[in-house]
Amino acid sequence: MAIVQDTCQYDEAAQMLPLLAMADPQRTLAWRDGVAVSAAKFLDHVEQVAARLPDAPSAVNLCEDRYAFLVAFCALARRGQANLLPPSRAPQAVDEVMAAHPGCYALGEQALQPAPLGYLPLPLLETRAATLATAVAPAIPAAQTVTVGYTSGSTGTPRANAKSWRNLHASTAGNLAMLHAVAGPAFAVVATVPPQHTYGIEMSVLLPLLGAVAVHAGRPFFPADVAAALAEVPAPRVLVTTPVHLRALVESGVELPPLTAVLSATAAMPPALARAAEQRFGAPLLEVFGSTETCAFASRRLTVNEDWTLYPDVHLHPQPDGTRIEAPQLDVPATLADIVTLHDEGRRFRLCGRHADLLEIAGKRASLGDLTRRLLAVPGVQDGVVFQLEDADAIGVRRIAALAVAPALDEAAILDVLRQSVDPVFLPRRLRRVEALPRNETGKLPRAALLALLG
């Protein structure tokens, strides 16, 4: 029996999957500085970098330029090394991840000051014409760990999640199928999210690697920069963004080149913003649902249906304290903290909140998600969040706090409106007006930052 098991494990580990979809070596994989980069040229850059990497089990990929990140991502995979993806680029966060992975180093295209210990600058990428005609896409073991991503810390300490190349291949198949339905077989992507985070990896790194997708190398931030980046890629165009960036785009008045679709994730989408975005840009607004642990596994168009549609072969099983998920990209079923109700024979679900967000005070129940939604519905509140404090009061109750961005209101005015729709026991006992919420690069709110801002 042991021999058979060992043989099965060996066969699974020996299975190879392509690093790059390369039916046409001349297909455009990226747009960088207004110039198209072919799949063959990209592969040559990967091989150049891979040949110069030191022997190590893993490396922190700190490349800011999306194309440089793509090259480093694949070069590390070619050398059998995992891409370490810290929850942020803050030196302390990078140092903590490196300390958790002995023998690793850091890689980037910029001159960092201060630089992490063992920092390796990405070599200058050259074009070797002789190799372009003979470029062949390599394959790597399906079971090889390619990424180790970290949760955002929005619910506590960031946690590590390793993904194999098989995991990422399977999740990308679902994302491509979803996007093909609205954008066609080939399209260009401009992303405002960084490539280091799971959403950015899925929608701006894996899509161009494994599909007929060309990605813009930049990460535009301001609305005018987003418009300029979109103008540098051909139609059909898909904008990958977050609710925070989307609101800024809608309110800016900046004209964007024609879009085929807008994709959003990382935070709840206010229905009013979804309607405004579709009207403003003349394109469907799609959301994807997933996590660092699971990758994306469902999507929806909020202006059409509040329910989420599961990707093919994904199955949810509601549990008392969450939801068990079976998906092609998961080696074993995972349990989500989200509470859902299933519809349409289990192919759609409605999100009811997270188990950790459910509150019970004085025999009454509410959820932090719903309370945040009601705070955001207060006229004059531009951004906000409701959360629960760790320490209990004298009678053992963990009280509710809130932060709100509302330049024209004071705390009393906000609370007066909330009293109309929120039970008194769930009104924030501490509500503070702030200039901006401490959102990270993907729009999430690390809990430690919220507590610090609350003071």
Q: Cα–Cα distance between 246 and 268 in angstroms, integer?
A: 12
Closest Cα partner for 23 from 210, 239, 290, 216? 210
Q: Per CATH, is 362-453 categorized as 2.60.40.10?
A: no
pLDDT of residue 13: 47
pLDDT of residue 6: 40
Which pTM does this prediction carry? 0.82
Chunk the chain into consecutive blocks of 10 residues (it has 455) and report each block's average pLDDT, rounded to whole numbers: 38 77 91 94 94 96 95 97 89 90 94 86 75 76 95 67 96 97 97 92 97 96 96 97 92 96 90 95 97 94 96 94 94 91 94 71 72 88 87 67 92 90 85 90 81 86
Q: Find out whether 294 and 329 touch, Cβ atoms under 8 Å.
A: yes
Q: How many CB atoms lie within 10 A of CB 196?
A: 27
**Where do the CATH 3.40.50.12780 domains begin and end in the chain?**
16-304
Closest Cα partner for 207 from 182, 245, 180, 241? 180
pLDDT of residue 8: 43
Beta-strand relationship, 119-121 and 139-141: unpaired
pLDDT of residue 443: 75
Distances (CA, A) of 322 to 78, 314, 358: 38, 16, 11
Which amino acid makes up residue 279? Q
Closest Cα partner for 433 from 400, 401, 399, 406? 406
pLDDT of residue 420: 87
pLDDT of residue 425: 80
pLDDT of residue 294: 94
Q: Cα–Cα distance between 125 and 370 in angstroms, integer?
A: 49
**Where do the CATH 3.30.300.30 domains begin and end in the chain?**
362-453
Q: Report the CATH fold assignment for 16-304.
A: Rossmann fold (3.40.50)
